Amino acid sequence: MDGIKGKVIAITGASGGIGEATGRLLAERGASVVLGARRGERLDKIARDIHDAGGRAVACAIDVTRLEDLQRLVDQAVTGFGRLDVLVSNAGVGRIGPMADLDLDGWSAMIDVNIRGVLHGIAASLPVFRRQGRGHLVTTVSTAGLRIVPTQGVYAATKNAVRTLVEGLRQESTDGVLRTTMVSPGFTRTGFADSIDNPELRQQIRRNMEEFAIPPQAVARAIAFAIEQPDDVEIGDITIRPTVQG
């Protein structure tokens, strides 16, 4: 806990699922959190809950596909709390389905949110981290990129693109200023299925989640583990999934 207390941490995709659980846990452990997502009213409620529990949180309605929104999120951290120690790039969308469906809109959405959103976070936070002489980029990827299965090819491609760019950034940042962590959750109890258009596939994913998915708090604890390490220790990759997931 000592490695988290007092840190300023911004989180995208913080209005539900893994992002919400991470924000609540880190605030409970003494961090000041800046919660970013599109659902402003939901963010406001989460921030009020954290305040009522004695924590520090501010809400910032953003769309990660817009660079200026990520810059506003980072600016809010620096202006409100004096600095930014960690950016958790968690926002993501999974418009999965057979490639033969030719869901070009879904493909574009995944590219814009899952890849471009991470790049926008890097562009907004890296100058601040460099100026401070220290920073930590935590990125949520997925086990979908580790085991490629039908209907998830494009989604997995976006997650593996993020693996490549974060590893490239890590190799360019071995001067001790920047730490990078990639967290790959398996089936987690979130609203992931809500963005799936195919009704049969959507129901299948929901059934799997009900049967064996882990709670988002489990992933939040993994993220906290990476953040709480001393500054000279980098947890590069964490894979966390249900013990029964194939």
Q: Write out the two tokens for 216.
A: 């988002």
The verdict on whether 230 is a catalytic residue reads no
Among candidate residues 156, 159, 150, the one with its CA nearest the CA of residue 101:
150
d(CA 157, CA 60): 29
Q: In DSSP terms, which residues pair with 89 in a beta bridge? A: 139
Catalytic residue among 81, 107, 129, 155: 155
CA distances from residue 179 to 28, 106, 117 in whole angstroms, order as listed = 23, 32, 19
d(CA 197, CA 37): 22
For residue 29, how many C-alpha atoms fall within 13 Å in the half-sphere facing its CB? 21
d(CA 113, CA 162): 11
Helix (H, G, I), strand (E, B) or coil at 8: strand
Helix (H, G, I), strand (E, B) or coil at 178: strand
**Identity (one letter) of the amino acid at 175?**
D
Asked whether 165 and 61 are in contact (CB, 8 A), the reply is: no
d(CA 85, CA 232): 14
Q: Which residues are catalytic?
A: 155
